[in-house]
Every structure is written in C-alpha cells, then in structure tokens.
Structure 1
Amino acid sequence: MRSFSIALCVTLIQITPVLAFCKQDRNDQDPAYWRGHIANDPANEVLQGTTYYEAFSDPKSQTVWTFTKPGHPAHPSVVCRYPVQMGQQVFLRMEVICHNTQGACDKLVADFQALNKTMSQHLNRQ
C-alpha cells in the first residue's frame, strides 16, 4: 500500500505522509471506503468517467476525486486533487492512496502529475 501527498507546482514536487486524507476528518486507507463515502454524498457531482476511471467533484471545496476501476494497472487507488493559492500562483495539491505495486503506483502518480502541470499552467494564465 502506498499513501502520500503531493504539493505540485511547475518546479517543485513535495511528498509528505498523509495525516488526514484530502481535507477529511479521517485517514482511512481503503479506496473503497472513500469511493462509497464520496459517491453517496449528494453534494458531489459525478464527472464523466472512462473505462479505467470514475471521478466526482465537490463544488464547495473545488475537490476532484478520481477512482481507478478494475482493469486499471494501479487499481484499487484514489487520487484527490484541489487548488491551493500561494501568492499570485494557483497550485494543485494531490493526495493519493494506491494499493498496488510500487511501479503501478509510481505510474499513476506520474500520469496525474503531467495532467496537474497542464491544469496549473492553464489556471495561472487566467
């Protein structure tokens, strides 16, 4: 099992242990728990999914939760992302719980880091 938090900006990636997962009151390490908790919250919106992912958005906290589906190399995993403003820059904070091999988890994180970099660049141009 891999659990970590990443503060992502264009030039800095910081990995720290997760103490309270994604601004929640508890640090449950089971992606299935989080999927049930997030999916059953009527305040959250279902985003378009793919064959390997399903995602939910919490508009109030601007948080996006992405869950791997069976068949994804890093399943079961959950990725939580939300914006953090530091000065004039907006960064995406990413927290991950991944219950798979180190290689599969590393690839999942790398894929989301690339997506986050593109999103951060877009947000900072606005």
Structure 2
Amino acid sequence: MEEAGMLPGVPHLRSLGEVGELVEAVSPLYVRFSGGPVADAATVSRDHESGCLLPGLSVNPLTPEPWWDRKVEHWLARQLCQYAHLLAPDRYPWALTGEIAGRGPDCEPLLVGTTAVASIDRSVVDEAAWLYARVFHPGADGR
C-alpha cells in the first residue's frame, strides 16, 4: 500500500470540490477503493461470491451520466458513498482511467489498462456522506 493512501506522482484530493474539478478535466473518470495500483497489480480480481475471475478492476464512475441534471458534487457524493463500506486501514479511494473490459456482478465497470490519476483523502468520503444525507432520500422507491 502506498503511504497513508497517497499515490506518488499524482495529486492528493482533499475535497469534493477538488474531485469535481478533476472530473471536469479528465473523462471518463472512475474511483476504486483498494490498496492502490501497486497492490492491485499484484492480485487477481475475483468475484467474492462466485469465485469467478473478473477481466478487470471493479470501479465506480465519477463522471456523471449525460442525464444527470444535478450538481456534479451530488453525483460524486452518491458514487463515493456506494463503496464507502470498503474503506479499511489498508484500503482507500483513488481515481483512475482505463478501458472497460466488461461489467461485474453488480453491473459495475471492470477496467483494464488503468492509469492512476489521483488519490482521494478519506475525509472526502466523510464529506460525501454528509452531503449525501442532506440531498438524497436513501431507500425511496418511487412509489
């Protein structure tokens, strides 16, 4: 794992606003919660429930979909909160690009040919959770 979740040679983002600026500059952009690119390169991606090998790294999109008509920070908060449960002392969020090689069991993109673009401070996930709780209605089913 890279030192304290910081990747050498790329920016370390400390706010949702900084992540939003990166999304405007780099597209498509994804987030992964792991020990970082070096740790990921040393392992094989596998679906934990089935045991099947995955053809790429499981990621979550940071670039909003074209239909998204809200603030980019709202999208980022939602996307970061989707995998926040994966935070651990040896796992942190980092932004990356790459080519989609398939979809995982939760329909998440699976990337190959990845390039690390930035590390994301753990405090950004806390900021995302704070915003998510204020602007979304978790569990609402549209009925």
Do the structures match in fold with TM over 0.5?
no
TM-score (norm 2): 0.27
TM-score (norm 1): 0.29
Higher strand share: 1
